[in-house]
């Protein structure tokens, strides 16, 4: 039986309080934008299985149902993923992925393009390589800290678009559907899955990737229901052995879609059944949680489909512009802003304190943290390092490889991280204590890395010196993303990654 709080009741409480309620009455995550009303998509039937409710909504979703801010975010996240793939192609992990797939599959007739390289491979092979390129580049998106939807959804949406000659609008609708289904499936369950040893990114990512590809390929409700059920068989990701992540989820998603298209059946209650996905991965199908972003140890599986097409969790997706763990990104910019507002220089600083959501200090899970940001010595790449970088340089290089300023290495030893059950995700409260006895504080909102397409263009353009195509060709990618909903073929963007 599906019981507990519904997502609608959580949303109503959140709007009343100005944000989602967290442990101790805080707001551990914020909505990406005001939720717009949707158009003509059918409402979920609570009597149907979760897989069928998702499938029915996805099949009925039209471009005209998407609010402008949803379309804008889809364009921006697409640009972000392509920029990451371009960067990743220049790094060892990206080169290895291209070599692996092209060595096994190059020259497949009627295949799908491997980004940057330009070779064709099977759909499964190409999405694996393209996901690996995005992961290698480090410019990911982030949904609630521990999932990175675009690294598997975007390659699969492009593969489906290239196979069928789909338009930019078809690609956008498929991509958004994939993000929304993945976000809803993952939202309340991420910390609980991590505490059981699963990596939430690929475990949930396969569902979003399959939904995106299936929508672009115009699968029927029956076929998509089965594709979602088949993903329950193919989902995987382990924290102890992280050798495969979203790239494997993308490859398996294309297998699930292909099998469903052939007529392969899956259990109707594959998600919520007594032996289904949530029982296996979350430990129960009742909505009981081990850990929670919202400070509650109980949710409801009914909440997964409540408000579909009305309340867009997709808009919570952040741009991870810096190549570091998502919980570090706000420390750079918020600290930099605080220094700019009060003209604070490195020479003026005695020490820094940062109060953060407690889950951000125990990565990947409080059940077995491999990194305690609040304990031990400060190291390069830690939260204390990034906070110090914000003071010293008023920002962080977008491209990797810059030498560490000695001032950063000095100041990071004087940064203290304080875990709190009352802080929003990605929203540290930074206090700088200066040598003259004064202190200055700035509270982040958790929304600092949610922005529109124009701001994404401004910030991601810093990657140009590190990518294998010219600045003019990158500008063509930007222009194509901007007008993607007017493009006859979405896969022109893939071809533009090839020098």
pLDDT over 60 at 5, yes or no: no
Q: How far apart (Å, rounded) are the C-alpha atoms in residues 115 and 127? A: 9
103 neighbors 482 (Cβ within 8 angstroms):
no
The second-level CATH assignment, the architecture, of 326-443 is 2-Layer Sandwich (3.30)
Percentage with pLDDT > 70 across the chain: 91
What residue ranges do the domains of the chain occupy? Answer: 7-319, 326-443
Q: For residue range 427-438, what is the model confidence (pLDDT) as tens digits?
A: 999 999 999 999
Please give the model's pTM, rounded to 2 decimal places. 0.91
Mean pLDDT, residues 48-76 = 98
Q: Decide yes or no: CATH 1.10.10.10 for domain 7-319.
A: no
3-class secondary-structure state, position 352: strand
**Biggest distance spanned by C-alpha atoms of the chain:** 72
Q: For residue range 195-229, what is the model confidence (pLDDT) as tens digits?
A: 999 999 999 999 999 999 999 999 999 999 999 99
Burial, 2: exposed, middle or buried (Cβ in 10 Å; 0-12, 13-18, 19+)?
middle
55 neighbors 180 (Cβ within 8 angstroms):
no
Q: For residue range 117-154, what is the model confidence (pLDDT) as tens digits?
A: 999 999 999 999 999 999 999 999 999 989 999 999 99
Q: How far apart (Å, rounded) are the C-alpha atoms in residues 128 and 294? A: 34
pLDDT over 80 at 7, yes or no: no
How confident is the prediction for the chain on average, in pLDDT?
91
Exposure string of 141-161, with b = 16+ CB inside 10 Å and e = fewer, is bbbbbbbbbbbbbbbbbbbbb
Q: Among 231-235, 238-242, 483-487, whose mean pLDDT is lowest?
A: 238-242
Mean pLDDT, residues 16-25 = 29
Mean pLDDT, residues 230-255 = 95
């Amino acid at each position: 039986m599906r019981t507990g709080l519904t997502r609608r009741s959580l949303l109503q409480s959140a709007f009343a309080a100005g944000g989602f309620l967290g442990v101790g009455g805080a707001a551990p995550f914020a909505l990406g934008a005001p939720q717009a009303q949707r158009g003509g998509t059918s409402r979920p039937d609570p009597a149907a299985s979760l897989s069928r409710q998702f499938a029915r909504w996805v099949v009925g979703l039209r471009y005209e149902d998407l609010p402008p801010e949803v379309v804008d975010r889809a364009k921006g996240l697409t640009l972000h993923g392509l920029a990451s793939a371009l960067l990743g192609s220049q790094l060892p992990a990206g080169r290895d992925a291209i070599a692996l797939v092209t060595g096994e599959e190059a020259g497949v007739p009627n295949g799908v393009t491997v980004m940057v390289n330009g070779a064709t491979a099977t759909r499964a092979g190409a999405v694996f390589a393209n996901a690996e390129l995005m992961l290698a580049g480090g410019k990911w998106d982030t949904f609630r800290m521990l999932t990175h939807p675009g690294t598997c959804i975007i390659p699969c949406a492009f593969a489906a678009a290239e196979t069928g000659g789909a338009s930019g609008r078809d690609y956008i609708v498929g991509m958004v559907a994939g993000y929304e289904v993945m976000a809803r499936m993952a939202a309340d369950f991420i910390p609980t899955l991590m505490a059981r040893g699963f990596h939430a990114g690929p475990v949930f990512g396969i569902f979003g990737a399959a939904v995106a590809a299936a929508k672009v390929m115009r699968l029927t409700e029956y076929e998509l229901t089965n594709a979602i059920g088949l993903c329950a068989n193919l989902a995987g990701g382990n924290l102890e052995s992280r050798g495969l992540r979203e790239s494997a989820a993308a490859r398996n998603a294309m297998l699930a879609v292909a099998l469903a298209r052939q007529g392969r059946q899956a259990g109707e209650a594959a998600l919520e059944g007594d032996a289904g996905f949530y029982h296996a991965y979350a430990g129960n199908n009742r909505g009981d949680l081990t850990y929670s972003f919202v400070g509650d140890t109980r949710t409801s599986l009914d909440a997964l489909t409540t408000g579909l097409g009305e309340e867009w969790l997709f808009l919570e997706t952040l741009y991870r512009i810096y190549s570091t763990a998502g919980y570090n990104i706000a420390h750079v910019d918020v600290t930099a802003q605080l220094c700019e507002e009060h003209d604070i220089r490195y020479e003026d600083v005695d020490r820094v304190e940062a109060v953060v959501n407690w889950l951000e200090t125990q990565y990947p899970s409080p059940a077995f943290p491999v990194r305690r940001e609040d304990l031990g010595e400060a190291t390069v790449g830690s939260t204390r390092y990034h906070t110090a970088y914000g003071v010293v340089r008023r920002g962080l290089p977008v491209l990797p490889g810059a030498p560490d300023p000695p001032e950063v290495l000095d100041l990071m030893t004087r940064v203290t991280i304080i875990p709190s059950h009352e802080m929003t995700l990605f929203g540290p409260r930074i206090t700088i204590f200066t040598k003259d006895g004064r202190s200055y504080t700035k509270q982040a909102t958790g929304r600092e890395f949610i922005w529109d397409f124009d701001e994404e263009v401004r910030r991601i353009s810093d990657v140009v010196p590190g990518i294998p195509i010219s600045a003019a060709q990158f500008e063509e990618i930007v222009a194509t993303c901007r007008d993607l909903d007017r493009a006859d073929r979405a896969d022109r963007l893939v071809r533009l990654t090839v020098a």
